[in-house]
Structure 1
Amino acid sequence: MNYKDYYKIMAVDKTASQDEIKTSYRKLARKFHPDVSKEKDAETRFKDINEAYEVLRDKEKRAAYDQLGSNWKAGQSGFTPPPSWQDQYQQGNGNFNAGAGGQGDFSDFFESLFGGGFGGGQHAARGRRSMQGQDSNAKILIDLQDAYTGATRNFTLQDQVVDQQGRTQTKDRTLKVSIPKGIKPGQKIRLKKQGQAGVGGAPNGDLYLEVGFNPDSLYTIEGADITTELSISPWQAALGEKVKVPTPTGHIDLSLPKLISSGSKMRLKGRGLPCKVAGDFFVKLKIVFPKSLSTEEEALYQSLKALATNSDKNIEDEA
């Protein structure tokens, strides 16, 4: 039986914090999970990772393991615990519950250290087969209107499940999700116990839904800010008229300044997504000419051209 370096298996230093160990475990468990991993030794690595995490996640097991590592011949083949280990750590110490977070059978190395008296007989055996389910992540798309008002929507997700023959299959699952008012692109909604199933009666993990927005023909979304493009006529741009602007909460009246240029942006403060710090709503103006001119309209444009030409000539004469 060989000594196992649990820190090396978990790809962390011996001084790693519990948060660092947990983060590394989640990363490695996803990488080597036999149902999804393409690594040749995925199943073996997955078992080693769970075993290492079972020890390092527990304060007392980790302390005992650290003491063993510093006082025994760690790393050599033919490893057996020192004679004092059984008396020191395995005699009725109920605090050591083998399997509080593990999955499947553990190695002889683990059993030699934490089996038997730790957790007590059949209870420990059951514990070794239990592990809380992993957290899952998915993406959903919502309408902009939902973020303005809040809503409840049904979403169908595709889960990867293993059937009785050990084959991975896709199964649809529909969830009712509450969309909070003011949610922004990229934010996540947490659904408790909707992640991967727990093992041995342990609770399921959580499901995190990353929110995106369905494409919208009227609006562009950047963080909490919303932008819409509004077409205006040349005379509206020149004279500065009042125009109607569509927003996700209804049309509003907007007064244009005189002689505004195409491409200009007007800002409506606080009318973007209603987050804790509300975003802004921007109106980007685009001057659009008519596709055709009547005889009268063409005459008016000719008159305007003549006026502009005379104005330019007067400026040159004064210069």
Structure 2
Amino acid sequence: MEYKDYYKILGVDKKATDKEIKSAYRKLARKYHPDVNSSPGAEERFKGINEANEVLSDPEKRDKYDRLGSDWRHWQQAGVDPNDFWTQFATGGASGPRGGRVQYGNMGDMGDIFGGGGSAGADVFSDFFNAIFGGMGGAAAQQAGGGFNRASQSRRGQDLEHAVEISLTEAYLGTVRVVNKDGQRLNVKIPAGVKTGSKVRVRGKGGGGAGGGQTGDLFLRIKVASDPRFDRKGDDLYTTVPVDLYTAVLGGEVSVPTLTGDARLKIPAGTQNGQKFRLRGKGMPSLKNKGQHGDLYARIEVPLPAQLTSQQRKLFEELRKTS
């Protein structure tokens, strides 16, 4: 049976702190995760990285492994049968390994790295691991009455995604979408203020777990359809308001579209083409700060008349003389 040098696998010193171990694990997991690395041997390397982290991130397992390390070298150098070593380890000089279930380690870390709960192909530990932590292992352990049972694996179910498109008005007001999952109709509430790329989580409606593990979650990935009236930047909205030349020159009231109906805006005399006016609180609701809204910016567009009547031309000529 091959000895596993977990410190070497993670590239850390034997005196490494928990923080250093976690950092090394996350770095290597990103590099060798099967979802991002399809090179030959990457999946096996990833399994080894996960197994090393399972041991070194758990104080009890790490302590048992550290005591095993020096004993292992002693028995190897003495040329003793490995089965004798396991008997000694299980019944004598070192504390015997406990039976029971081995949890797949550090699911939270994997969720932070890859946005889900675990990875295919990374849930099988080596015989070396199982012999230490999942049962006595080997023929000598059978003689000792402990039996050898491969550690049962508990793994959280896979998170699932479902794409949903909603209108800008629905994103403003909030809405509900019906999702069919395995013949079950789920009414999922989409909160006001979501953006394209937002994800709405439905807990416990993803893939089934293995070995008694938790069911994964279902995520609705939101796409907010474009609205020809508005441009959105964060929680602010921008719209273009056409204003006739006379109102721009003399001032007056104009109608501005909002997502809850038209609003009236007073513009001063001499308003310029391209000038912007802010309507406070008329933008999108904030998803993070409940009760707060962005602003709506109305950009004034003053179209010039393409053709003038003779009377209009005469008036403009008189106006030019006075300017």
Establish whether TM, by shorter chain, passes 0.5: yes
The answer to whether residue 191 in structure 2 is matched with residue 188 in structure 1 is no
- The 3 A distance-change label for structure 1 pair 280 and 123 is farther
* Alpha-carbon shift at residue 231 of structure 1 (Å): 1.5
The amino acid of 2:294's aligned partner reads G
Tell me what 1:39 maps to. Answer: 39
Q: How does 1:280-299 map to 2 (within 5 A)?
A: 280-293=295-308, 295=309, 298-299=310-311
**Structure 1: unaligned runs, 5 residues or longer:** 158-170, 313-319
The answer to whether residue 190 in structure 2 is matched with residue 179 in structure 1 is yes
**Structure 2: unaligned runs, 5 residues or longer:** 106-121, 138-144
2:237 alignment partner, one of 226, 237, 261: 226
1:301 alignment partner, one of 294, 298, 313: 313
The amino acid of 1:284's aligned partner reads R
* Cα contact 1:12–1:21 (8 A) shared by 2: yes
Q: How does 1:71-150 map to 2 (within 5 A)?
A: 73=73, 85-86=89-90, 87=92, 88-90=94-96, 93=98, 97-101=100-104, 105-117=124-136, 125=150, 127-135=151-159, 140-150=164-174
The amino acid of 2:278's aligned partner reads R
Deviations 1:205-256 (A, max 9, x none): 3344454421111111111111111111111211212111111111111111
- The 3 A distance-change label for structure 1 pair 284 and 43 is same
Equivalences, count: 286
- The 3 A distance-change label for structure 1 pair 270 and 56 is farther
* Cα contact 2:205–2:215 (8 A) shared by 1: yes
TM-score of the pair, normalised by structure 2 = 0.70
* Cα contact 1:185–1:223 (8 A) shared by 2: no
- The 3 A distance-change label for structure 1 pair 189 and 123 is farther
TM-score of the pair, normalised by structure 1 = 0.71
* Cα contact 2:136–2:147 (8 A) shared by 1: no
* Alpha-carbon shift at residue 54 of structure 1 (Å): 3.5
* Cα contact 1:22–1:57 (8 A) shared by 2: no
* Cα contact 2:22–2:57 (8 A) shared by 1: no
Tell me, in whole angstroms, the C-alpha distance in 2 between the residues paired with 1:133 and 1:26.
Answer: 19
Tell me what 1:162 maps to. Answer: none
Tell me, in whole angstroms, the C-alpha distance in 2 between the residues paired with 1:270 and 1:15.
Answer: 50
* Cα contact 1:240–1:258 (8 A) shared by 2: yes
Tell me, in whole angstroms, the C-alpha distance in 2 between the residues paired with 1:71 and 1:138.
Answer: 52
**Bigger shift: residues 128-137 or 227-236:** 128-137
Tell me what 2:117 maps to. Answer: none
What secondary structure does 2:103 align onto?
coil
The amino acid of 2:130's aligned partner reads E
Tell me what 2:17 maps to. Answer: 15
Tell me what 2:249 maps to. Answer: 238
* Cα contact 1:220–1:226 (8 A) shared by 2: yes
Tell me, in whole angstroms, the C-alpha distance in 2 between the residues paired with 1:122 and 1:256.
Answer: 87
What secondary structure does 2:102 align onto?
coil
- The 3 A distance-change label for structure 1 pair 207 and 196 is same
What secondary structure does 2:52 align onto?
helix
> What value does the CA root-mean-square deviation take over the aligned residues?
4.1
The answer to whether residue 258 in structure 2 is matched with residue 247 in structure 1 is yes
* Alpha-carbon shift at residue 69 of structure 1 (Å): 5.1
Deviations 1:163-194 (A, max 9, x none): xxxxxxxx9x9864311123345543222234
Deviations 1:266-293 (A, max 9, x none): 1111111122232111111111234444
Tell me, in whole angstroms, the C-alpha distance in 1 between the residues paired with 2:247 and 2:70.
Answer: 82
